[in-house]
Structure 1
Amino acid sequence: MESNYHSLKRRDNQLLVITHLSQLLTYITGFGGLIAPLIIWATQKEKVEDMDAHGKSILNFQLSVLIYSLISIPLIIAFGLGILTLILIAILAFVMPIINAIKVSNGELPSYPLSINFIS
């Protein structure tokens, strides 16, 4: 039954790439980098092959970035290191979706470093 169900899903690398790149909406809207991939994942995970795994990794990464950012705020006041941490988080949150979109377009598996596994 599982193999038959799996074969009903379509292969759509373009949508997977768009899902990874949709995280960059954070830099335009401030919050779209979590909302857009969540909507794509929720509506397409049953229809697109590998969307469930990609969506979970993206959401885990976005939630991790949010938590790391929230932890960095008190570090600004306490040690001043929070500013450096926020800059590093911003760079990582910008670069990793692009790298993973390229990986996906080449048929490779994405990987997000420092990602906490909230959704498995």
Structure 2
Amino acid sequence: MEATNFKNTAALTHLSALSQYLIPFANYIFPIVIWSTYKEKSEFVSAQSKQVLNFQLSLLLYSIILLGISIPILIYHFFQNIPFSTIINDNEIIIDHFNFNGHIGALSVAILALIILGILKVSEFFLIIFGAIKASNGENYRYPISIPFLK
């Protein structure tokens, strides 16, 4: 197989991670399929496939941690602050006296975790594009903040 085809396949491997926006878990499935198909044919495609998988698995881990921090805090403080004077009228819920006093620190941590998660997801999109460009030029690309699960 020609070296240009390997570069294109490696670039496609990076771009396949974007399929997560259309098909759930496709950002893991497609790189695994490409890696298993090309691991004996091209060291370059194999290495780039591993990089994509490592990056996607790292982002999954970071997302689980950040959501594990923010969601329980937000749920706890929301339900703790629902007063008995909650009124439900004609498909409208009115909650009086929602109190943030004494909880601003924990709520700030939860909101900060969600902001970091948002930054990670936006950065992921651009890093995938950048990795595809590097791979199409024949350069080995290593994602930042990626944990090397597969070596």
Q: TM class, shorter-chain normalised?
A: 0.7 to 0.9
- Say whether the 8 Å CA contact 1:10–1:47 is kept in structure 2: no
Q: Distance in 2 between matches of 1:49 and 1:65?
A: 24
Among 6, 10, 13, the alignment partner of 1:19 is: 13
RMSD across aligned C-alpha pairs, in angstroms?
1.5
- The structure that has the greater radius of gyration is 2
The 5 Å alignment of 1:88-99 reads 88-99=119-130
**Which digits, 9 at most, give the CA deviation of each residue in 1:20-55, with x for residues without a partner?**
100001122232111111111111111124122111
Q: After alignment, is 37-46 or 49-58 more displaced?
A: 49-58
- Say whether the 8 Å CA contact 1:74–1:82 is kept in structure 2: no
- Say whether the 8 Å CA contact 1:16–1:104 is kept in structure 2: yes
Match of 1:84 in 2: 115
Structure 1-normalised TM-score? 0.85
Runs of 4+ deviating beyond 2 Å: none
Higher relative contact order (CA closer than 8 Å, sequence separation 6+): 2
Among 66, 74, 87, the alignment partner of 2:68 is: 74
Task: Structure 2: state its 5+ residue gaps.
Answer: 74-108
Task: Structure 1: state its 5+ residue gaps.
Answer: 1-8
Structure 2-normalised TM-score? 0.68
- Say whether the 8 Å CA contact 1:10–1:48 is kept in structure 2: no
**Once the 2 structures are TM-superposed, how far is the Cα of residue 19 of structure 1 from its aligned partner?**
0.6
The 5 Å alignment of 1:1-120 reads 11=3, 12-77=6-71, 78=73, 79-80=109-110, 81-120=112-151
How much identity, in percent, do the aligned residues show? 40
Equivalent pairs counted in the alignment come to 112
Q: Distance in 2 between matches of 1:64 and 1:41?
A: 18
Q: Distance in 1 between matches of 2:44 and 2:20?
A: 24
